[in-house]
Structures are given as structure tokens and as C-alpha cells.
């Protein structure tokens, strides 16, 4: 976009010595001190295209074991530790007349009640799923928002583990809710064979609906969240890196760098919005799936 006219000048190719060094966290590569030696080096790239390596940094602890701990896990650990501690403090001091912090937490709970449960399950039937949905929403919001927190810069949901587990949890919840209500066969019939259609249609419909229930729903939840977070992170890295590269290009391209910077800030703001939006979408879809499993009529 902004880079298009200047892309010929910004040489994009491999850094000569890089593969030997191995993948490094992007945050270090974005560091001025780290980048400056290569800035004026002829043939070195001014601007690194972010790759998937961003999401698979090298291990910090227990390398090679099933407990390999890398930067992504560190980000997640920090986020849940901070959020849980803060929430525990707020919860243990919860008063009838709320303070500021308590009001904010209650606002989130009320938002899930009124914005999600009320519109899908109805407040009367839906309240037994409220703990699950609120937990899911707060968890995803926590993990998504990590992507825009300076210093962390990586959403906990931008690597597949968390989105997948959250989606599978949702899957278990709605299947269990449906089976509890109708029994196993009754639930399958309810979800896959809506009444009132001509017989031959069922040959086509039943397999599709079955696949939908057992695979597509949770897979789409996973991929939607993951892809949004991955794309958001890559976009931010691209625009921040571009701004940086343009600013230090020591040519007329420096003039363009404020525009790229403005765009980077815009995308940063957009990512804050996306973090909330994706948590909301995930949670409301979970509520809709529960509603589909437990609804009396189609």
C-alpha cells in the first residue's frame, strides 16, 4: 500500500547471515539497537517481512520435552497470572456498593448477561450456562488483548492451542447440554434432521448437518479466532517495521514514514477493537450453538 511505490528501493531478500543465527523473537529484531548494524549495510534488508516464526519462538525452558516453554507460553502465563490476581483481589473485596474496579468487572459480566445470553438463550434458560460463557469471554478477551499490550505484543490466542481448546470446550458443553436434554439419539436427530422436509433431502442434509455438529462448528470457531489474531499481529508487525525501515532508510523515503506510522497506530487501535470483537463473536457463537442444541423448536 504505502510501501508500493518505494518497494523497489526497499530491497526485500534474505539477510545473509540470518539462517545461521536462527529465528529470533520479532521484538528483538524490531529493536533499533539490534537493527542498526544492518541498516546501512549494502545488500542487507532494511525491512524484514514477518514470518510464521513470529508465533513459534525458540524454547526458553525444557527444550525438547512436552513441556517446552517458549515466549508464547510466557505471554499467556503473565496474562492469566495478572488477570487472575487482579480479579481475585476485586472479587475478595466485592462489596454491595461497587468501587471503580468492581464496576468494570461487573460491567463485563452484565455485558455477557445482556449482550449475549439474553439475545440467544434467553435470561431464564440461559443463566445456567452463564458461568461457562462469562469465563470463556473473559479468558479470550484476556488472551486477545495481550496482542496489543506493549512488551507482550503477542496474543495468547494467536497460536492454535488456546483457540482449539476453547472451541473443544464449547463443543463438549453444547453436546453435553443437548444429550442431557434429549438423550444421545434424540440429540443427534434434533441437530441433524430438522422435521418437515421431503425424504430425499435428508440423504443430503443429515451427513452435512452431522459434519457441521461434530467438526465444522468447533473448527470454524478455532480458525476464525486464530486467523484474526495471526493476521492482526502480522499487520502490526508489518506496519511498525515498515515505519521503522522507512524512517531509517536515509533517503527521500523517510518523508513517507509518518504516513506508515499513522497507519501503524490506526491498525493498533483496530487490533484493540478486534481483540474485543473476536472474544465477543466466539462467545456469542458458543451461546448460539448451545441454544441450537437445547432449543425446543427449530
> Do residues 157 and 148 touch, judged by C-beta distance below 8 A?
no
Decide: helix, strand or coil at residue 70: strand
Whole-number minimum distance, CB 183 to other proteins, in Å?
27
Whole-number minimum distance, CB 122 to other proteins, in Å?
18
Exactly one of 26, 76, 190, 217 binds other proteins (CB under 8 A); that residue is 76
Q: Which residues in 169-178 are b (16+ Cβ under 10 Å) and which e?
A: bbbebbbebb
Decide: helix, strand or coil at residue 150: coil
Exactly one of 31, 34, 40, 106 binds other proteins (CB under 8 A); that residue is 106
Q: CB-based burial of residue 160 (10 Å sphere; 0-12 exposed, 13-18 middle, 19+ buried)?
A: middle
Whole-number minimum distance, CB 247 to other proteins, in Å?
21
Told to check if 49 binds other proteins by CB under 8 A, we report yes
Quote the crossing angle between the two packed helices 100-111 and 130-145, to the nearest 10°.
110
Residues 172-201 that bind other proteins (CB under 8 A): none
Told to check if 4 binds other proteins by CB under 8 A, we report no
For residue 59, list its beta bridge partners.
70
Told to check if 166 binds other proteins by CB under 8 A, we report yes
Q: CB-based burial of residue 215 (10 Å sphere; 0-12 exposed, 13-18 middle, 19+ buried)?
A: exposed
Q: Which stretch binds other proteins (CB under 8 A): 95-103, 202-210, 263-271, 284-292?
A: 95-103
Cβ proximity to other proteins: between 95 and 199 the closer is: 95
The CA distance from 270 to 180, in Å, is 41
Exactly one of 37, 92, 200, 297 binds other proteins (CB under 8 A); that residue is 92
Q: Which stretch binds other proteins (CB under 8 A): 73-81, 144-152, 269-277, 278-286?
A: 73-81
The CA distance from 184 to 35, in Å, is 60
Told to check if 123 binds other proteins by CB under 8 A, we report no
Residues 236-265 that bind other proteins (CB under 8 A): none
Which residue stretches of 193-256 are H helix? 199-211, 217-247
Told to check if 296 binds other proteins by CB under 8 A, we report no
> Do residues 26 and 237 touch, judged by C-beta distance below 8 A?
yes
Cβ proximity to other proteins: between 5 and 207 the closer is: 5
> Do residues 240 and 35 touch, judged by C-beta distance below 8 A?
no
Interface contacts to other proteins, rule CB under 8 A: 12-15, 18-19, 22-23, 48-53, 55-56, 65-69, 72-73, 76-77, 80, 83-84, 87-88, 90-92, 94-96, 98, 102, 105-106, 109-110, 130-132, 134-135, 138-139, 142, 156, 159-162, 164-166, 169, 223, 226, 230
Amino acid at each position: 500500500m504505502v510501501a508500493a511505490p518505494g518497494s523497489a528501493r526497499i530491497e526485500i531478500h534474505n539477510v545473509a547471515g540470518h539462517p545461521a543465527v536462527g529465528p529470533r523473537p520479532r521484538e528483538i529484531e524490531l529493536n533499533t539497537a539490534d537493527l542498526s548494524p544492518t541498516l546501512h549495510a549494502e545488500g542487507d534488508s532494511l525491512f524484514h517481512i514477518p514470518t510464521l516464526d513470529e508465533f513459534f519462538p525458540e524454547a526458553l525452558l525444557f527444550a525438547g520435552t512436552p513441556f517446552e516453554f517458549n515466549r508464547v507460553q510466557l505471554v499467556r502465563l503473565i496474562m492469566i497470572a495478572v488477570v487472575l490476581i487482579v480479579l481475585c483481589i476485586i472479587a475478595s473485596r466485592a462489596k454491595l456498593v461497587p468501587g471503580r474496579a468492581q464496576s468494570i468487572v461487573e460491567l463485563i459480566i452484565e455485558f455477557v448477561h445482556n449482550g449475549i445470553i439474553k439475545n440467544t438463550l434467553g435470561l431464564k434458560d440461559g443463566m445456567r450456562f452463564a458461568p461457562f460463557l462469562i469465563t470463556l469471554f473473559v479468558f479470550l478477551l484476556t488472551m486477545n488483548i495481550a496482542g496489543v499490550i506493549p512488551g507482550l505484543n503477542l496474543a495468547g490466542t494467536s497460536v492454535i492451542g488456546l483457540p482449539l481448546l476453547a472451541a473443544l470446550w464449547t463443543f463438549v458443553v453444547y453436546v453435553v447440554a443437548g444429550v442431557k436434554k434429549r438423550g444421545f439419539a434424540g440429540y443427534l436427530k434434533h441437530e441433524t434432521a430438522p422435521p418437515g422436509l421431503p425424504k430425499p433431502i435428508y440423504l443430503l442434509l443429515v451427513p452435512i448437518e452431522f459434519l457441521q455438529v461434530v467438526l465444522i462448528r468447533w473448527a470454524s470457531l478455532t480458525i476464525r479466532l486464530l486467523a484474526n489474531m495471526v493476521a492482526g499481529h502480522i499487520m502490526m508487525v508489518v506496519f511498525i517495521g515498515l515505519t521503522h525501515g522507512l524512517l531509517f532508510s536515509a533517503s527521500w523515503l523517510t518523508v513517507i514514514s509518518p504516513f506508515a506510522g499513522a497507519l501503524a497506530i490506526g491498525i493498533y487501535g483496530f487490533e484493540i477493537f478486534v481483540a474485543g470483537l473476536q472474544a465477543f463473536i466466539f462467545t456469542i457463537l458458543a451461546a448460539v450453538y448451545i441454544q441450537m442444541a437445547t432449543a425446543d423448536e427449530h
